[in-house]
């Protein structure tokens, strides 16, 4: 007798069910998707004990005849596709014909369905995959599926279920996700005979988001103006800088109405925010993608969560462009209600960016502005940092602005903070977007101007207090200067590269064959960064020169960072994204610090330069530069408004 044999049908069904039905949330997902495919306008989900004891999904869709109701219990029976061409262009949420028989094989299953206009419906009872009864039913038009005692015949699987509260949380998230994708459908969830939520038909996507996530969050979201690029359409809503989360639970992505996960989408979201998002944080996003169904494969994951794109770079580029445009166009005022984690005294770069004051020194006293004849303040930069910045400032591709209104007042000492700011700031031309190849309509928000703000004073020698027509605005002088220097260095990198310094002893970097081939194809990119490199036999690269802002022991590490970026770079990203972490670190060291005293004219110039930046409301590390507290919020805090 041979070693290989066929599994019994019941066992094969249970094995197949393990791929589709992981937990109660999987059952709800599959059944709700079928309801949506049937054209339902009203879907009700009832559960008991987190879905372990009971799941009942009722819809008012097209319903099924008796023959169809019996056929849907057969494996690989579906109405969604018929030919292999249909499989290559799937337009429905379900298509495999596996969900219903898989669920019926691991539960006590009841299905009732009635077509519109039919005199009677059909009721089918199944227990553990065995058909028990088929009879007429008098249910309303539509379909109702009841799943009791999930995994009653698979105790090994049942014991791996989590607590009822955990299973309910997963189930609720699944239903809310589907509700956001289909705002034209009514959804309701009843938990243990109590109404958890009921969602009427929404007039817009933002109304549905507000119903589920709260109006405070919805009111802060930025709408993505629909964008279409290379066959990919992008629309939806994203959170502004400052609305980061520690996980991806509020990062919802829908492709042709289907909730999906894809590494290329997550990467594109991160790159679209770029310096407007802190490391380790994930953006709040309700992102919708539309593409030709033939350009995506949704049949690569048993639960249909993951998808694979035919042209992933086109998808990544469209998402990055849409998000970057949205942040530039619609961020017309300082950040409000920020959700940033507490500011620490040291960034991950190890650079001191601020000082924590003891609670009893609550900084209630404003620092008065020193007069022009005051004694010299401490220098903004150390000698080494100043030399690096001065070397960059003296490059030939930057023309100095000599207009009288743009000059800082003469400083009393060449080593004072004013002198350092004078030297660097006078060399800065007006900031221009480094993504000018993307047409941007700026009609949505008027760009802010410094005249909209009146400087009141300085708190703790770090936070500049200003008054606007809307309320109180605080500016972090270190974060603001970081943003200014960052965009200037990035602009120079785009326009003509940065100055380099020759090494006394050339360095040799041994690379893998793949990395070596990648860098050889991008030697011009290395040249823009100030590297002089050439092949040196085998898979080695000889480095003769490095950028002036780079430490002597950093070149090889920086090379490997660029290789990592090149592996995932799109055409747009590769022109201005590479190496920006190193630039952000450099400007963090060079920017003004906490306890650096700036005079009022210097603060005005700092504000003017900041508001000319492409992304003025956050530093390169994603922390806010300007925070606004509205008069309404202040009145509420003082009890003047409810």
DSSP 8-state assignment for residue 65: -
Helix runs in 43-196, H state only: 66-71, 84-87, 99-105, 155-158, 164-181
- Whether the pLDDT of residue 319 is over 50: the answer is yes
Q: What is the pLDDT of residues 147-179, one digit of tens each?
A: 999 999 988 888 889 999 999 999 999 999 999
Q: What is the pLDDT averaged over residues 41-61? A: 96
Per-residue pLDDT band for 387 (boundaries 50, 70, 90) equals very low
Outline where DSSP puts E strands in 335-414. none
The predicted structure's pLDDT at residue 495: 73
Q: What is the pLDDT averaged over residues 390-419? A: 37
- Whether the pLDDT of residue 83 is over 50: the answer is yes
What are the backbone dihedrals phi and psi of residue 508, each rounded to the nearest 5 degrees, phi first?
-120, 125
Instruction: Name residues whose C-beta falls within 8 Å of residue 149's C-beta, 6 or more positions apart in sequence.
Output: 52, 53, 107, 108
Segment (H or E) for 222: strand 222-229
Q: What is the pLDDT averaged over residues 534-549? A: 84
Spatial distance between the Cα atoms of 605 and 481, rounded to a whole number of angstroms: 11
Domains of the chain, with CATH numbers? 9-201 (3.30.565.10), 206-330 (3.30.230.10), 383-492+588-637 (3.30.1540.20), 499-576 (3.30.1370.100)
- Whether the pLDDT of residue 447 is over 90: the answer is no
Lowest mean pLDDT among 22-31, 360-369, 505-514, 578-587: 360-369
- Whether the pLDDT of residue 421 is over 60: the answer is no
Most confident region among 128-142, 294-308, 322-336, 431-445 by mean pLDDT:
128-142
* Mean pLDDT over each residue of the chain, to the nearest integer: 78
Q: What is the pLDDT of residues 12-34, one digit of tens each?
A: 766 666 678 889 999 999 999 99
Burial class (CB in 10 A: 0-12, 13-18, 19+), 197: middle
User: Does 437 or 578 have the greater pLDDT score?
Assistant: 578
The predicted structure's pLDDT at residue 1: 58
Q: What is the pLDDT of residues 593-624, one digit of tens each?
A: 888 888 888 999 999 999 988 888 888 888 88
Instruction: Name residues whose C-beta falls within 8 Å of residue 94's C-beta, 6 or more positions apart in sequence.
Output: 30, 33, 34, 37, 78, 80
**405-418: buried (b, 16+ CB within 10 Å) or exposed (e) per residue?**
eeebeebeeeebbb
Q: Is 260 helix (H, G, I), strand (E, B) or coil?
A: coil
The predicted structure's pLDDT at residue 550: 66
Closest among 110, 164, 111, 158 to 14, alpha carbons compared: 158
Place of tokens 């995959």: 129
- Whether the pLDDT of residue 230 is over 80: the answer is yes
Per-residue pLDDT band for 306 (boundaries 50, 70, 90) equals confident
């Amino acid at each position: 007798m041979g070693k290989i044999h066929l599994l019994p049908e019941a066992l094969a069904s249970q094995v197949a069910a393990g791929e589709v039905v992981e937990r109660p949330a999987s059952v709800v997902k599959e059944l709700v998707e079928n309801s949506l495919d049937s054209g339902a306008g009203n879907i009700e989900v009832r559960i008991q004990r987190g879905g372990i004891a009971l799941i009942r999904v009722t819809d008012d869709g097209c319903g099924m005849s008796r023959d169809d109701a019996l056929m849907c219990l057969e494996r690989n029976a579906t109405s969604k596709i018929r030919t292999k061409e249909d499989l290559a262009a799937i337009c429905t949420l379900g298509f495999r014909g596996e969900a219903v028989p898989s669920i019926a094989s691991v539960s006590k299953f009841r299905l009732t369905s009635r077509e519109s206009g039919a005199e009677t419906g059909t009721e089918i009872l199944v227990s553990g995959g065995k058909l028990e009864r088929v009879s007429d039913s008098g249910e309303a038009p539509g379909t109702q599926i009841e799943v009791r005692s999930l995994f009653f015949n698979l105790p090994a699987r049942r014991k791996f279920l989590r607590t009822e509260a955990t299973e309910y949380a997963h189930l609720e998230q699944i239903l809310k996700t589907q509700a956001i994708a289909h705002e034209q459908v009514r959804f309701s969830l009843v938990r243990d005979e109590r109404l958890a939520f009921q969602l009427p038909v929404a007039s817009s996507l933002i109304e549905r988001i507000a119903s589920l996530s709260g109006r405070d969050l919805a009111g802060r979201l930025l709408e993505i103006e629909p964008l279409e690029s290379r066959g990919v359409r992008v629309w939806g809503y994203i959170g502004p800088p400052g609305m980061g989360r520690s996980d991806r639970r509020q990062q919802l992505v829908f492709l042709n109405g289907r909730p999906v996960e894809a590494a290329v989408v997550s990467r594109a979201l991160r790159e679209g925010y770029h310096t407007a998002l802190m490391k380790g944080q994930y953006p709040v996003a309700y992102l919708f993608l539309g593409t030709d169904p033939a350009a995506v494969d949704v049949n690569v994951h048993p639960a249909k969560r993951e998808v694979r794109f035919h042209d992933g770079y086109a998808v990544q580029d469209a998402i990055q462009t849409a998000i970057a445009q949205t942040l530039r166009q619609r961020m017309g005022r300082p950040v409000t209600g920020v959700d940033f984690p507490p500011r620490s005294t040291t960034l991950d770069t190890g650079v001191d960016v601020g000082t924590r004051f003891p609670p009893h020194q609550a900084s209630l006293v404003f620092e008065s502005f020193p007069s022009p004849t005051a004694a010299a303040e401490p220098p903004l930069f150390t000698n080494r940092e100043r030399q690096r910045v001065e070397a960059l400032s003296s490059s030939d591709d930057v023309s100095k602005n000599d207009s009288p209104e743009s000059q800082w007042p003469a400083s009393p000492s060449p080593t004072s903070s004013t002198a350092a700011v004078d030297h660097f700031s006078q060399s800065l031309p007006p900031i221009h977007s480094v993504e000018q190849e993307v047409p941007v309509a700026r009609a949505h928000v008027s760009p802010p101007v410094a005249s909209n703000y009146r400087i009141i004073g300085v708190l703790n020698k770090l936070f500049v207090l200003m008054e606007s027509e809307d309320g109180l605005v605080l500016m972090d002088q270190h974060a603001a200067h970081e943003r200014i220097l960052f965009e200037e260095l990035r602009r120079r990198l785009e326009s003509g590269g940065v100055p380099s310094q020759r090494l006394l002893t050339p360095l040799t970097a041994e690379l893998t064959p793949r990395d070596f081939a990648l860098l050889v194809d991008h030697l011009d990119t290395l040249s823009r960064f100030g590297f002089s490199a050439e092949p040196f036999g085998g898979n080695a690269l000889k480095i003769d020169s490095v950028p002036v802002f780079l430490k002597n022991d950093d070149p090889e590490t920086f090379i490997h960072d660029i290789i990592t970026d090149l592996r995932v770079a799109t055409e747009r990203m590769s022109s201005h994204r590479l190496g920006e972490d190193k630039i952000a670190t450099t400007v963090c060291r060079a920017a003004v610090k906490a306890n650096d005293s700036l005079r009022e004219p210097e603060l005005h110039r700092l504000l003017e330069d900041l508001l000319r930046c492409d992304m003025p409301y956050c530093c390169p590390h994603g922390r806010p530069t300007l925070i606004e507290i509205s008069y309404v919020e202040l009145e509420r805090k003082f009890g003047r408004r409810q």
